Structure 1
């Protein structure tokens, strides 16, 4: 039997965002004060995984809180393809401020949020398109290992789109909470494309 690669996808800790800003790929601080939730999450993760984060500091901060730190000394792999969706020029605005712009692109975005592209940003379909090859590439690199990736709600939904063969619009229906665990397994098939198994989604 071909070795299975297990992905343990963790959404970062809650963003500290009292003004309700759209942050996307912007940097934002996170609240890692809930030690009970962090310890419970850590207890669900495998003992010796490949530890992975994205370039955004909130994933590294969460990794530190989960495993001790600093995370850069803990042999974490940095994977840019698992970044959150970029909302381009809209990052840093509140939803009210965005609505007040009266921009036709805002209305178009809400009519087709999976495929519409914010100015200077990317669509959720673009996120799925960049996450898919990264999952295959890292599954081949760490074949048969456990990969614990602290990443983002958007990239976790994108991974579920890949695993379940969903359209981007369907994948947006998943709720992915901060400090939740989603587990998918990459299963190689000789002479055929690999298949995916979904073990759990949004486990608190």
Structure 2
């Protein structure tokens, strides 16, 4: 999106959506395993669809759960794009031998105060990645897409680690800062890239927004008095 008052300024708006919750993991770490997600809560996807731009470039990771999430958004009546790019660089971190381990037991074994599975430079054993490996590939893809689709809205359906990496980039290239954020399933995070001949910066308009909560609060304020009405919630 170019700024009419400043024609040399181009703003590319990223709308990151984390995939829907995984129910079939058995409480285990799944990382880059291609596991399905639960898209049954239509109320959640209707709320997410309300905040996303209708004219946008769509991109998703190479993992099935991001494509299922995109389909659930389109199934609400949201205009389906002609194409959606599959970006392998936006896949979740490969957690090697940690994948399949009990998540709670594993995290309890890590140092107190850890924001992630391991230190950002520690690769997962068994051929896995470090968070820095994830960060570098995510940043490379973002930089490329910022050039290819400069000035547009980009809806990117990704993963918790992917979005944390994008936040680290937006916070001045500090990947460890991105790890401090919670990124909930189906949440929306918007990051604006602003580019001019003299400026190359990011703005963070919203992080980990859950539109279904605000939507329900608005409905409650305008709901006629009477028997309580219940709606499904994201677990």
TM-score band w.r.t. shorter chain = 0.7 to 0.9
Contact 1:114 1:172 in 2 (8 A): no
- Rounded Cα–Cα distance in structure 2 between residues aligned with 1:156 and 1:73: 22
Aligned to 2:27: 20
- Rounded Cα–Cα distance in structure 1 between residues aligned with 2:85 and 2:173: 27
Aligned to 1:198: 204
Query: Normalized against structure 1, the TM-score is what?
Result: 0.87
Larger Rg: 2
Offset at residue 138 of structure 1 (A):
0.2
Choose between structure 1 and 2: higher helix proportion: 1
Offset at residue 17 of structure 1 (A):
3.5
Tell me the C-alpha RMSD between the 2 structures. 2.5
Contact 1:189 1:195 in 2 (8 A): no
CA shift in 2, pair 1:149/1:126, >3 Å? same
How many aligned positions are there? 195
- Rounded Cα–Cα distance in structure 2 between residues aligned with 1:66 and 1:138: 22
Unaligned stretches of 5+ residues in structure 1: none
Aligned to 2:90: 82
Find 2:140's aligned residue among 124, 133, 141. Answer: 133
Equivalences for 1:1-204 in 2 at 5 Å? Answer: 1=7, 2-17=9-24, 19-68=26-75, 74-95=82-103, 112-119=118-125, 120-165=127-172, 167-190=174-197, 192=198, 194-204=200-210
